[in-house]
A and B are shown apart, each in its own frame.
Chain A
């Protein structure tokens, strides 16, 4: 069992087992500084910007927003400075169902994020940062706006900023309010939305690091990814070693380009457990430990049926995978990845057909409509699952369902038919649910006259 020795991201936010969430209060700038705040930025400013990127690379920090892409590597994709503007876009469009981890940091400890933003701006020589926060986070937006004001007052940003001039400009951090669109969490859709357009993902390449917001080099990072840079830099040169003392190593025998899963991670647990909430743990904690330890077991003493490891796009785990290790290597259990680590736990009474219908409806509703396979496919699946749930489906519908799912998505499993990964999430979720809980679907449909041709597990 891996256990975190001390809270890292939740150092100032009371969280089980170190504190009582009822005592959570906003950490102001002064309180933040009193508890060693902004020492990470001070350390970073003593270092050459390239060395900061090297440190993050050496620590092997992987993005916390869903894809798990190595953050240091992303930062090093930027072209050399040419005197023009370079942007940072912070993705706080936390809309994946099951995910509510960034909200905790934004609401209670905004300065750990702001410090991470400043570190990233120094490291990558970015002069303007946009904090893209989802429209529904009204209270959190107010909290963060106040924190930005405090940061300006204390010369983190603005004229005479302690970062100095970057690209001949004083660094700035602005808040940009979204307006309720899941797709804007996709990095290029976020940029389109920032530019005042509808959130339609862009075709890559060019990648945002080369041509992003307003056609200029742009780095896009999740809130938690930037926040985790702060405690690393607080420890200066030892930061990488400290970060790697937590989490799990790369899988045995894996080639060196497969990154390991180091560091602490926020897990947002929801569903049928006794004590849902956001917990900080090392990567590699088992689902069993998370549920039975921090979440105090299943609600009403029911049996575990399945869990979604990181937001609904990652698909479901089988009932037998109760002690799966929650790290980025989770894909071997036929999930799309760790995602956002928003763990959704379901007990034995949960109807998987209803779960599939809810997920299909979500993706049908949130598809941006740009690519036909996704726009039509997600809604088609949603209608079909509603029909199956109502008992009007046939066995042939199940085959058709898997066929539609397999024909949309940007990954090879979706035949590269779409621009972004929204359809991959939809297809993965539906396929894993149908394949892993085939019996339930079969029991719901009438087999009159039709024989299933599906190969289970494909």
Chain B
């Protein structure tokens, strides 16, 4: 989960002039989110979600901007961002496929399924297809055990999937 040891001392941060945390997003956070909590720090997760939902992932510059905005150190925001699995610190494909690998899904046939998806897309887990369309990830329990196996494609949950019906779903995506 949180144990990625990287030397950040010599790390180059890609920067752009345009801010990721735009004035509109700042206003939205200031008006709707920050008043909900006792501290500004508590708005970290909503702010990360908001930037990620707008931009797709969380570049380091965005982390710094969020930290500035909330009056925190960038390392504090990065600490939170690296802990949670849903935050992307690198770009991903247009569609992220999260295949559940927990027990109910495994005993209902997930191992065969994931192999078929891998060979269909021609990628391994954690990789993105060359056309940038799909990123394949495995994930622990999606809370859909009664309709196992299941997978999320971006925000949409697909239940009772088989290699065939899931292939139809993937083919139908633009």
Q: Tell me if B61 counts as interface (CB < 8 A to partner A).
A: no
- A98-B103 in contact given A196-B80, A198-B79, A276-B147 (Cβ < 8 Å): yes
Stretch in B6-14, B37-45, B120-128, B162-170 touching the partner: B37-45
8 Å CB interface, B58-95 against A: 70, 76, 79-80, 83-87
Please give, as numbers and ranges, the residues of chain B lying within 8 Å of A355 by CB-CB distance: 103, 107
Q: Is the CB of B152 within 8 A of A136?
A: yes
Please give, as numbers and ranges, the residues of chain A lying within 8 Å of B144 by CB-CB distance: 100, 103
Q: Is the CB of B145 within 8 A of A98?
A: yes
Q: Tell me if B130 counts as interface (CB < 8 A to partner A).
A: no
B69 → A minimal CB distance (Å):
12
Q: Is the CB of B46 within 8 A of A136?
A: no
Q: Is the CB of B143 within 8 A of A271?
A: no
- A350-B45 in contact given A95-B141, A365-B140 (Cβ < 8 Å): no
Q: Tell me if B139 counts as interface (CB < 8 A to partner A).
A: yes
Please give, as numbers and ranges, the residues of chain A lying within 8 Å of B155 by CB-CB distance: 138-139
Please give, as numbers and ranges, the residues of chain B lying within 8 Å of A367 by CB-CB distance: 1
Please give, as numbers and ranges, the residues of chain B lying within 8 Å of A366 by CB-CB distance: 1, 140
| Of B38, B142, B148, B156, the contact of A214 (CB 8 Å cutoff) | B38
Most chain-A Cβ atoms within 10 A of its Cβ — which of B80, B87, B139?
A: B80
Proximity bits, A78-106, B CB within 8 Å = 1, else 0: 00000001000000001111111001000
Please give, as numbers and ranges, the residues of chain A lying within 8 Å of B83 by CB-CB distance: 181, 198-199, 368
| Of B42, B139, B157, the contact of A196 (CB 8 Å cutoff) | B42
Please give, as numbers and ranges, the residues of chain B lying within 8 Å of A270 by CB-CB distance: 104, 108, 145-146, 148
Please give, as numbers and ranges, the residues of chain A lying within 8 Å of B98 by CB-CB distance: 136
Q: Tell me if A17 counts as interface (CB < 8 A to partner B).
A: no
Q: Is the CB of A195 within 8 A of B87?
A: no
Q: Is the CB of A95 within 8 A of B143?
A: yes
Q: Is the CB of A277 within 8 A of B157?
A: no
8 Å CB interface, A171-222 against B: 172, 174, 176-182, 193-199, 213-214, 216
Please give, as numbers and ranges, the residues of chain B lying within 8 Å of A278 by CB-CB distance: 146
**Interchain residue pairs with CB less than 8 A apart (8):** A99-B145, A177-B49, A179-B86, A193-B45, A271-B145, A344-B103, A362-B141, A367-B1
Please give, as numbers and ranges, the residues of chain B lying within 8 Å of A58 by CB-CB distance: none
Nearest A-chain residue to B42, judged by Cβ: A196
Determine the distance from Cα of A358 to Cα of B49 in the docked complex, in whole angstroms: 30
Q: Is the CB of A179 within 8 A of B87?
A: yes
Q: Tell me if A346 counts as interface (CB < 8 A to partner B).
A: yes
| Of B42, B85, B143, B146, the contact of A269 (CB 8 Å cutoff) | B146
